[in-house]
Structure 1
Amino acid sequence: MDFLLKGALLIGCGWLLLTSLGYLFTPLIFDHAEANIASVGALYGKGLEIYTELSAPSRYSLLYGPWPYLVVAFFQSLISNMILAAKLPGVINLFLLVGCTYILSTKIKGSAFQKLLSICVIPLALLGYYNFSYWNRPDSYIMANLFCAFTVVSFAPRISFWGTSLLVGLLAGLAANSKLHACLYFVPVAVYFFETYRFRRYWTKILLAAIAFLCALVMPFLLPNIGAENYLLWLQMASKHGLVLEIFLKNISFVASFLLFLYFSRFNEKFKLSFIALCVVSFLVAVVASKPGAGQHHFLPFVPLILWLAIQQYFSMDSLGRSRFHLFAAAFLLTLAINGVNRQKQIAKFLAQTSVREREFSDLLNLATSLPGNVELGFAGNKTYESTFYKSALIGRNKGMLLDGAALMDMAASGISIPDSTIAEIKSCRSYFVFPKGEEPWSILSFYTEKPLFDDQFKSAFKSAYVFERNTEFFAVYKCR
């Protein structure tokens, strides 16, 4: 078992780093919310607002905070390939996490090979999250920010306690600018900070961290074209999604396995308050993550933290304590490896499509170049939905984005229908519409409700204004009547 475990750790780490780099160089985006961030970042770079009014004809605003969009827009301003630029921040988040594990490993009292295996534990666990650890959605930002904060806390005496408070507050504020509830994840790190060093006058350090947090939280909203008031409206709409008991129970069972792993490392005996804080915040996150379409990826930021706390505890044990913990740890890590293999089959399938997706992407770009005026990439059915994730590339070529699938599904879950202003825009027939071939235009079903995303009124308005023109290898072109 020892040989199998070491092999799984090394192979798993190598696979995660290799596939994250491979992901950069395929035009395919794996998830529709990733595509949303890529597209809205590109729109922001063109001077449009991130958060529109609820009745705006363009339907692309999500409840995510502005930070991921701003970071993507920055990289898109540097790199002409909109899709590559949008993927890069997520991959950087993963490599930042791995870099922090290397820094933390210098504190471990063990051989170089033991330190290497310790670094590999976290990538092994992240394999169970498909590409979540390096996608551009808020989760990878929160994960990286939280682990950076923990690394800062671990080296607090070298940085100074005041500097540590400041940095942790800033990182928490940026995380909350990715998802508003992300400040919860930092509570156990803050408790660990105070429980580890037990310094006096901790209230002044809390005050400094709180001021830094608020500054980092507010500053992005001072930039132009954010739409802060509209952001609050979209957050309010998201509160109507409701909670699903089945998802909540799955969340609890998932995070409980990691907390039990930490418990059996006897972490709670030395850091009782930190362990309690982890349990309480995990429960709160389980509630937040029980919305339709949510789930266990909300625990991604906690996974590296919990595992590294257990690793540190393991290396502080005596030989008897280690031998007692070995069997449980080996079984847990091999379970993670098996889970990772099952999840990574989908990633391998996606990456195997690269050559076909490159042809598909080239076909779309040729259409965008040859068709005069504005070009919109519309939705057909669910089977071809992934072929619509290239919208950011069209925006980079000054084409439009009237509709975003992830945003529309989120709006439908909140009971927000497509407004008359969008119908009017369709009827005005100011653009060419391009659809993936093989399915009827606008036949897609929502992931959350499994009901049609576009109603009969919308489809009728489109049919009255547009007519089929021609097919290319991958797409169907519709023009104005």
Structure 2
Amino acid sequence: MHILANLNHSNLYLFVLVTFVYFIISILNYRLFKNKLSLPNSKISLIAACLLIVNYIVLLVLYATHNNFFDHAEANIATVSWLFQRGKPIYHELESAERYSIPYGPMLYVINGFFLNLLKPSLFSAKIGGILAGGLSLLLLFYALKKIVGLQIAIFCSGYISLIFISIYSYFAAATFWNRSDSFLIMFVALGLLTAVRTTSWLAILGSALSIGISVNLKIHGILYFLPIYILFYFRHGIYSVLFSILGSLILVIIPFIGFPQVSLTNYIIWLNEFGEQGLSLNLLKGNIIWSLYLLAPLLFLFIYFKFINNNEFNVFLKNNKYFIFSILVSLLGVAILGSKQGAGMNHLLPLIPPWAYLFALTLSQAIAVERKRSFKDINKYSYCLYISLIGALLTVTLIRASVNEIRFIDLSSKYHDEPVQEINEILQSYSGITIGMGYGGDYDLTYYRPILTYHGNPYFIDAVSMMDSEFLRKGIPTETLKALSSCKIDLWLIPKGGLPFNLYNYFNQRQVFSEEFKSTFLLNYELRHHTKHYNLWFCKK
């Protein structure tokens, strides 16, 4: 939590510093700026936008070819999605010996499991759903905007959206192309937007019902992201279309629970209640507010510009779109509060990018089209310099953060190459007749390869993501888990080198995830016999 707070503050401080520097420069060069910055060059803007889009696509390809994940929840989802395909429960009992359930909706595992089954289980096929969602999100948004504002503005906005997708990577602790629910939520919100603005009533009903039904089964609060979509839907297709869409989405919400025996509604509700006990974090709430302002800043600057050049037309624009604007603010507020729960974060804001992008593109199109009654450069010297300094600082900080994130991403992708994968495959061949599990200790990133073990038929016993949540809530480790550990349900544990077995700190509170009783039970029943370059091999003594 302290790391997130520092990241948010450093971002804010950098923005203030860059704004101040630009303000001094613009004051000293006021006449030059006044003559040269009347309107941006459209050709240069389009070229820059296309380069940003291509850069985002290259990043998707890089991620697809990298043989690991970048987040521990990705590894959990990749594993549980395959368990689902094998008929194992997504949500096990609270007192079960296994500890891997987390309160994501069932459709997350259904979608990722589909690609695992289609392409055969591998780290690549575990990623492909999220990668497709990341690419399709941008494509769906482009087609939605193109219908409303034309080709050039749609390209420009798609470029800026690509930049945002990259710039938030480290700070939202999520990427728009991971196999987590955020990627799919962005895509389905974009699909809902597209069907609302570009299709006939019946196609809009089907598209929105599909999008909302799946989204609620990705995250239980997914309906919040569709409030702006429903406002558009109502004004374009009428109240009856809205009602039919809601009815269809409700049917889709219950299908996974009645269609798949391995999806227990009772256990899902139990796990939601368990993690519903997590309180709100003031640091996360501050972070959500700061990043909400960051996402809204381009729109606010555009509103100021529009109001200044033609106040009457701006007021008409606000009047015509007041319900949509209000719905975005309501959704943003609701998501900011829900996203401040312990264990949540700024990634909850991501699915609001499609309706934000729609409003930004619509405002930009209207502002360009109206008759300019005033020239913005005729504003007071200091106000003008402050305005262009704020815009310049926003673009500069976004580019800096995007560049830093991309360098970090590339650096992580080359951390281990394929060595751990090769080691795990050799271990699986050497000890094919016993059960093998991934333990914790040492470099936590090395545990992200744990899906490979499950893809080769091994049981999934302990997952750190679920354990961290339980420990944060001070839920003790079930007796059945300790019994399974002492009876050697797992014959061989792979423990990453560099630390004691199951020595792992919780992201949320820096407490130890595994109790002393768990660690002593492990040491009593297992012994270190072999090792590879990256893993120690602990075998059952029995």
Fold in common (TM above 0.5)? yes
The corresponding residue for 1:220 is: 256
SS in 1 for 2:246: helix
User: Does residue 1:75 correspond to 2:118, yes or no?
Assistant: no
How far residue 25 of structure 1 moved from its aligned partner, in angstroms, is 1.6
The corresponding residue for 1:184 is: 224
How far residue 323 of structure 1 moved from its aligned partner, in angstroms, is 7.3
How far residue 410 of structure 1 moved from its aligned partner, in angstroms, is 1.4
Q: Which has the larger radius of gyration?
A: 2
User: Does residue 1:50 correspond to 2:90, yes or no?
Assistant: yes
1:361-400 residue pairs with structure 2 within 5 A? 361-371=421-431, 372-381=433-442, 384-400=443-459
Match of 1:148 among 191, 198, 213: 191
User: In 2 relative to 1, CA 408–7 (structure 1 residues): closer, same or farther, beyond 3 Å?
Assistant: farther
- Given that 2:142 and 2:158 are in contact with CA atoms closer than 8 Å, whether structure 1 keeps it comes out as yes
AA of the residue aligned to 1:299 = L
Taking only the aligned residue pairs, the percentage that are identical comes to: 25
User: Does residue 1:229 correspond to 2:266, yes or no?
Assistant: yes
User: In 2 relative to 1, CA 339–389 (structure 1 residues): closer, same or farther, beyond 3 Å?
Assistant: same
2-structure distance, mates of 1:22, 1:95: 13
- Given that 1:102 and 1:119 are in contact with CA atoms closer than 8 Å, whether structure 2 keeps it comes out as yes
SS in 2 for 1:61: coil
Q: With structure 1 as the length reference, what TM-score do the two structures score?
A: 0.92
2-structure distance, mates of 1:260, 1:358: 42
1-structure distance, mates of 2:289, 2:192: 25
Listed one character per residue, the Cα deviations across residues 204-245 of structure 1 (whole Å, up to 9, x for unaligned) are 223211111111111111112112210100000011111011
How far residue 119 of structure 1 moved from its aligned partner, in angstroms, is 2.2
How far residue 89 of structure 1 moved from its aligned partner, in angstroms, is 0.5
1:292-307 residue pairs with structure 2 within 5 A? 292-307=342-357
How far residue 5 of structure 1 moved from its aligned partner, in angstroms, is 6.0
Any gaps of 5 or more consecutive residues in structure 2? 1-36, 304-316, 378-386
Segment of structure 1 superposing worse, 53-62 or 413-422:
413-422
Q: With structure 2 as the length reference, what TM-score do the two structures score?
A: 0.82
Listed one character per residue, the Cα deviations across residues 150-206 of structure 1 (whole Å, up to 9, x for unaligned) are 111111xxx3224313321221110010000011110111112224x3x65x1x223
2-structure distance, mates of 1:467, 1:136: 35
How far residue 302 of structure 1 moved from its aligned partner, in angstroms, is 1.0
1-structure distance, mates of 2:375, 2:138: 27
The corresponding residue for 2:246 is: 210
How far residue 259 of structure 1 moved from its aligned partner, in angstroms, is 3.0
The corresponding residue for 1:239 is: 276
AA of the residue aligned to 1:411 = S
SS in 2 for 1:153: helix
SS in 1 for 2:372: helix
Match of 2:285 among 248, 252, 267: 248
The corresponding residue for 1:103 is: 143
The corresponding residue for 1:437 is: 497
2-structure distance, mates of 1:307, 1:331: 20
- Given that 1:53 and 1:230 are in contact with CA atoms closer than 8 Å, whether structure 2 keeps it comes out as yes
The corresponding residue for 2:408 is: 346
The corresponding residue for 1:315 is: 365
- Given that 1:41 and 1:69 are in contact with CA atoms closer than 8 Å, whether structure 2 keeps it comes out as yes
The corresponding residue for 1:116 is: 155
User: In 2 relative to 1, CA 94–321 (structure 1 residues): closer, same or farther, beyond 3 Å?
Assistant: farther
How far residue 367 of structure 1 moved from its aligned partner, in angstroms, is 0.6
- Given that 2:46 and 2:152 are in contact with CA atoms closer than 8 Å, whether structure 1 keeps it comes out as no
What's the RMSD between the two structures over aligned residues?
2.3
Runs (4+) of structure 1 exceeding 6 A deviation are none
- Given that 1:83 and 1:392 are in contact with CA atoms closer than 8 Å, whether structure 2 keeps it comes out as yes
How far residue 113 of structure 1 moved from its aligned partner, in angstroms, is 5.5
The corresponding residue for 2:417 is: 357
Aligned residues: 469
- Given that 2:328 and 2:355 are in contact with CA atoms closer than 8 Å, whether structure 1 keeps it comes out as no
Segment of structure 1 superposing worse, 38-47 or 128-137:
128-137
How far residue 330 of structure 1 moved from its aligned partner, in angstroms, is 5.8
Any gaps of 5 or more consecutive residues in structure 1? none
User: In 2 relative to 1, CA 162–401 (structure 1 residues): closer, same or farther, beyond 3 Å?
Assistant: same
How far residue 321 of structure 1 moved from its aligned partner, in angstroms, is 8.7
SS in 1 for 2:481: helix
SS in 2 for 1:150: helix
- Given that 2:149 and 2:362 are in contact with CA atoms closer than 8 Å, whether structure 1 keeps it comes out as no
Segment of structure 1 superposing worse, 64-73 or 255-264:
255-264
Listed one character per residue, the Cα deviations across residues 339-369 of structure 1 (whole Å, up to 9, x for unaligned) are 222322321211222xx33011110111122
How far residue 304 of structure 1 moved from its aligned partner, in angstroms, is 3.4
Match of 1:426 among 485, 493, 501: 485
AA of the residue aligned to 2:104 = Y
How far residue 473 of structure 1 moved from its aligned partner, in angstroms, is 1.5
- Given that 2:193 and 2:354 are in contact with CA atoms closer than 8 Å, whether structure 1 keeps it comes out as no
2-structure distance, mates of 1:248, 1:268: 29
- Given that 1:16 and 1:127 are in contact with CA atoms closer than 8 Å, whether structure 2 keeps it comes out as yes
